[in-house]
């Protein structure tokens, strides 16, 4: 019986089914698509984990940079005009009871500090030792930043059973308002550093972030559309220097308009591969002849990062130029 007669009589019409070969081909194509999609998904997840892990690795360094920026923006000197010599006055000069100092940490603090810079200044942070003064939020504190290679478990309770874990750390030292002594320096022309290189003050410094291998601070001023360094060698600046000179330098008792800060940070995973307990510290030979001339900062940072990667470290450089609102710079 042909199909037309079966259709007229209402009988079911036989339909052609898929052959076994067609089913096998379809299943093969479907399997290939599933494998491709699974591979893409795995690759995407690996990239996501790598990116998020790298972001978390340097999160502490970002937080440390933010802390430096916020604090430096509050820096103040509060300069005033006074006689150069009260007993035998000849002219007015800029004077200040406060100070900003930056330069090599090992030179300014003494001992085994660094590598890189120390910057120390006054800011109205309102930190006090007594509750009765805690509401005086504009009280001045001396605050400074530097790098120190130290045991990050130092001071932890022995009951925790934490062994030594030495890392290169970014440190913040901060006096309480009642202990600030920058204004005790009463010898203009021959300033001393006792107001910030007090061992007790340094010992109380807190860790902002570990695995910060280098801190560099670069004071700058504007000229036209560009910037110029305020230090010619060693990134050094002392606001008290030359304050009683016959021709007072422009840097005397003035805040720099700009401060550039650079941090070189390493990932904990790559540092741990060097040593679980002792981490990594930049050897002196990688710093020889570097970070002496401010105009070579870009090249020095790039070369150092390359050398650190060559020894197996995962590193990242954080840089930011900070405007100091309280600077009233005048040449």
Alpha carbon separation from 300 to 24, 197, 231, 271, 280 (Å, rounded) = 64, 28, 17, 21, 19
What do you get for the CA distance between the two ends of the chain, in Å? 112
Tokens at 327, concatenated: 């600077």
Tokens at 131, concatenated: 């509750």
Residue 216 within any structural domain of the chain: yes
Looking at the 3D structure of the chain, how many domains does it have? 1
Alpha carbon separation from 147 to 116, 117, 225, 239, 267 (Å, rounded) = 7, 8, 33, 22, 16
Residue 37 within any structural domain of the chain: no
Residues 238-280: tens digit of each pLDDT: 998 888 888 888 888 999 999 999 999 999 889 989 988 888 8
**Banded pLDDT at 128 (limits 50, 70, 90):** confident
Residue 149 within any structural domain of the chain: yes
In this predicted structure, what is the pLDDT of residue 299? 94
Residue with tokens 């070579």: 296
Residue 44 within any structural domain of the chain: no
What are the backbone dihedrals phi and psi of residue 78, each rounded to the nearest 5 degrees, phi first? 50, 55
Residues 137-167: tens digit of each pLDDT: 678 889 999 999 988 888 767 767 677 889 9
Calculate what percentage of the chain has a pLDDT beyond 90: 34
Rounded CA separation 116/5 (Å):
99
State pTM to two decimals: 0.79
In this predicted structure, what is the pLDDT of residue 102? 93
Virtual torsion, Cα 135, 174, 234, 293, nearest 10 deg: -60
CB of 260 closer than 8 Å to CB of 81: no
Rounded CA separation 315/302 (Å):
11
Q: Residue 81: which domain range?
A: 58-323
Residue 131 within any structural domain of the chain: yes
In this predicted structure, what is the pLDDT of residue 24? 84
**Banded pLDDT at 26 (limits 50, 70, 90):** confident
Residue 192 within any structural domain of the chain: yes
pLDDT above 80: residue 22: no
Distance of CA 268 to the CA centre of its chain: 15
Residues 99-114: tens digit of each pLDDT: 999 999 988 888 778 8
Residue 9 within any structural domain of the chain: no
Residue 27 within any structural domain of the chain: no
Maximum distance among all Cα pairs of the chain, rounded to whole angstroms? 134
Collapse the DSSP code of 264 into the 3-class scheme (helix H, G, I; strand E, B; otherwise coil) and give the result: strand
């Amino acid at each position: 019986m042909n199909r037309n007669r079966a259709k007229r009589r209402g009988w079911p019409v036989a339909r052609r089914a898929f052959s076994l070969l067609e089913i096998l081909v379809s299943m093969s194509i479907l399997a290939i698509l599933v494998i491709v999609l699974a591979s893409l998904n795995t690759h995407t997840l690996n990239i996501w984990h790598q990116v998020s892990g790298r972001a978390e690795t340097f999160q502490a360094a970002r937080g440390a940079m933010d802390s430096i920026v916020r604090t430096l923006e509050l820096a103040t000197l509060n300069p005033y005009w006074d006689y150069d010599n009260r007993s035998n006055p000849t002219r007015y000069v800029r004077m200040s009871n406060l100070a900003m100092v930056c330069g090599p940490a090992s030179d300014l603090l003494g001992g085994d500090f660094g590598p890189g810079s120390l910057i120390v200044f006054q800011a109205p942070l309102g930190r006090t030792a007594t509750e009765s003064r805690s509401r005086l939020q504009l009280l001045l504190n001396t605050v400074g930043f530097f790098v120190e290679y130290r045991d990050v478990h130092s001071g932890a309770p022995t009951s925790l059973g934490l062994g030594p874990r030495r890392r290169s750390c970014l440190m913040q030292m901060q006096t309480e308002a009642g202990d600030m002594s920058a204004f005790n320096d009463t010898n203009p022309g021959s300033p001393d550093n006792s107001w910030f290189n007090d061992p007790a003050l340094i010992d109380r410094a807190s860790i902002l972030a570990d695995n910060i291998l280098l801190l560099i601070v670069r004071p700058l001023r504007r000229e036209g559309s560009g910037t110029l360094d305020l230090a010619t060698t060693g990134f050094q600046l002392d606001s008290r220097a030359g304050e009683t000179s016959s021709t007072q330098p422009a840097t005397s008792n003035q805040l720099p308009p700009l401060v550039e800060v650079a941090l070189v940070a390493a990932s904990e995973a790559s540092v741990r591969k060097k040593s679980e307990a002792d981490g990594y510290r930049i050897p002196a030979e990688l710093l020889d002849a570097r970070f002496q001339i401010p105009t070579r900062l870009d090249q020095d940072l790039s070369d150092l990062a390359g050398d650190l990667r060559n020894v197996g470290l995962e590193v990242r450089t954080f840089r930011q130029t900070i405007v100091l609102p309280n600077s009233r710079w005048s040449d």
